[in-house]
Amino acid sequence: MPVDQAKLQDFVGKALGEWGATLGVLLTFVGDKLGLFKAMAGAGPVTPEELARKTGTHPRIIKEWLSAEAAGGYVTYDAKTYKYTLPEEQALALTDESSPAYIAGGYQIMMSTFKDEEKVIQAFKTGKGLGWGDHNNHLFEGTERFFKPNYVSNLTSSWIPALDGVESKLKKGGAKVADVGCGHGSSTILMAKTYPNSKIIGFDYHRPSIEWARKQGEKEGLKNLSFEVAGASDFPGNDYDMVAFFDCLHDMGNPSAAAKHVLNTLKQKNGKWMIVEPFANDKTEENMNPIGRVYYGASTLICVPASLNENGPGLGAQAGEARLREVVKSAGFSKFRRATQTPFNMVFEASP
């Protein structure tokens, strides 16, 4: 077959752009780690020497870093003054942890996948998978930093209110909630702070994450909050008013067993299972977009290997509503509906 030279050049150009972007992930991670962006935020134009003095770094390397970040559009460069500026928009996304646009944690997640290169290659070869807890520690911290702004923006303001009758019970008090697969506990702590008269329990099988979550919970001084080491198919307790799974059902080795266990732990009259999953359409071709690309990439490196590590079905981050409905309904739930959504997440409600 003859080669279309124009298409070839387009592809090589695309690859070139991605080389810069890939190197930019590491450079941005370094900027976050060393506090370079925070030092630039609100400081106006700075020289490499000024930034190096503020951050205790080497001015020559900082000059090269600034030039790379300017070429990538992360900072701006003034050729007349030889100074660099971090625009307000980039500062919001890279330094303001209270902003829903905060994305620095995403770079930390990506760095964890680079560090796990050999483990990932073995997972490709053997199909034995790669357990969540076997990843580099950057994954656990980065995941909390990346997902927390989304939870702060949506969890108690729109997701829980979209569930039938749940918010009123949580506000009234006396309700009991299980946050399963809670990781470092940002979602658990948020619910405990918002609903102080209801009991919120975070569960995760990854002990280091639970230990981290406990420390964060102690700092908050919340009396209605606790964390326990337990898996999705065996977490203790019953008569829960709500069980929540945040971005984790598709990772599990046995999502069907997890669904059945949730059903057995819920209040049978009006208990609710809230399932938050990455946004996905049911057909692969409908996910060929920038968000789908990120999710498929993360799913290849993290989600599917985590499930296969436990001989699971490998639902993946782009499982889609139909596949998730099948898992939930086959476990015995009578109702399953999409309660709400964002460009990045689908929020489902399941009832006994």
pLDDT tens-digit readout, 293-320: 999 999 999 999 999 999 999 999 999 9
Looking up tokens 């190096």 gives 52
What percentage of the chain exceeds 70 in pLDDT?
Answer: 100
The H or E element spanning position 345 is strand 345-351
Q: Which structure tokens are listed for 187?
A: 């979602």
pTM of the entire structure? 0.95
Beta strands 272-278 and 345-351 are antiparallel
Alpha-carbon distance 336 to 325, whole Å?
A: 7
Portions of the chain given CATH number 1.10.10.10? 5-95
Read off the pLDDT of residues 262-299 as tens digits, 9 standing for 90 and up: 999 999 999 999 999 999 999 999 999 999 999 999 99
Give pLDDT, residue 241: 98
Return the pLDDT at 95: 98
Query: Of 150, 112, 160, 166, whose CA–CA distance to 302 is shortest?
Result: 112
Structure tokens that stand for 304 in this block: 């599917």
What CATH class has 104-351? alpha beta
Q: What is the average per-residue pLDDT within 48-77?
A: 98
Confidence (pLDDT) at 118: 98
Q: Report phi then psi at 81, rounded to 5.
A: -105, -10
- Tens of pLDDT along 217-255? 999 999 999 999 999 999 999 999 999 999 999 999 999
Count of other CB atoms within 10 angstroms of residue 246:
24
pLDDT given at position 107: 98
C-beta of residue 56 within 8 angstroms of C-beta of residue 131: no
Reported confidence tier of residue 174, pLDDT bands at 50, 70, 90: very high
Ordered alpha helix ranges (H), 173-250: 186-194, 207-220
- Where along the chain do the CATH 3.40.50.150 domains lie? 104-351
Two structure tokens written together for 151: 């939870």
Q: Which residues pair with 335 in a beta bridge?
A: 351
pLDDT of residue 1: 84
Handedness of CA 316, 303, 286, 151 (dihedral sign): positive
Is 309:128 a contact under the CB 8 Å cutoff?
yes
**Per-residue CA distances from 188 to 229, 278, 283 (Å):** 14, 19, 32
**Domain formed by 5-95, architecture:** Orthogonal Bundle (1.10)
Q: Residue 336 pairs with which residues in a beta bridge?
A: 350
CA distance 260 to 243: 12
Measure the CA–CA gap between 270 and 232, rounded to whole angstroms.
21
**Structure-token pair, residue 97:** 């942890």
Mean pLDDT of 19-36: 98
Q: How high is the pLDDT of residue 313?
A: 98
d(CA 213, CA 193): 14
pLDDT tens-digit map of 103-149: 999 999 999 999 999 999 999 999 999 999 999 999 999 999 999 99
Helix axis angle, 207-220 relative to 138-154, nearest 10°?
50
The crossing angle, in degrees rounded to 10, of helices 5-33 and 59-71 is 140
The beta-strand segments (E) located in 176-302 are 176-180, 199-204, 225-229, 242-246, 272-278
